[in-house]
């Protein structure tokens, strides 16, 4: 298999489970399983998470991040690197922080059956949107 047979961008776009690596205060990596959405056209990864988790605290201190996804058979992988921005958490179900999460949901999954419930949940859960403009992508198929 040659390098041209594998498109790491396509694998990122297809994957709904990955491992996000952030940097702990002591410099070691902290790994978190996440459900990413990769907008290939915009070259940006979006992830919904919660305030107070290790990854969120790490990114508020050092926004550098890597995401790895693997193919279903485990024989292909792609890694994306970038610098994350965090939006939220919001306190108003109709505020800009929650609107960003609504936009993320629409892009990743389509229309929600109950937007009022979704908005209230985003506030109650202290949801944060990670936006990662992708600086570098690499991967392989073995």
28-86 per-position pLDDT tens digit: 999 999 999 999 999 999 999 999 999 999 999 999 999 999 999 889 999 999 999 99
Q: What is the pTM of this model?
A: 0.90
In the chain, the domains with their CATH numbers are 8-139 (2.30.110.10)
DSSP 124: H
Question: CA–CA separation, 68 vs 77, rounded Å?
Answer: 7
136 in Cβ contact with 80 (< 8 Å): yes
Q: Is 17 exposed, middle or buried (CB count within 10 Å of its CB: 0-12, 13-18, 19+)?
A: exposed
pLDDT beyond 70 at 2: no
């Amino acid at each position: 298999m040659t390098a041209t047979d594998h498109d790491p961008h396509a694998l990122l776009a297809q994957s709904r489970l990955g491992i996000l690596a952030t940097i702990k205060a002591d410099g070691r990596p902290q790994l978190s399983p996440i459900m990413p959405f990769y907008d290939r056209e915009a070259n940006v990864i979006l992830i919904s998470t919660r305030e107070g988790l290790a990854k969120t605290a790490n990114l508020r201190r050092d926004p550098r991040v890597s995401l790895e996804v693997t193919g279903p058979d485990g024989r292909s992988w792609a890694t994306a690197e970038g610098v994350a921005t965090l939006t939220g958490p919001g306190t108003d179900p109709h505020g800009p922080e929650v609107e960003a999460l609504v936009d993320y949901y629409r892009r990743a999954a389509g229309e929600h059956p109950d937007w009022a419930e979704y908005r209230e949940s985003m506030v109650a859960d202290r949801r944060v949107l990670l936006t990662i403009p992708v600086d570098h992508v690499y991967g392989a198929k073995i």
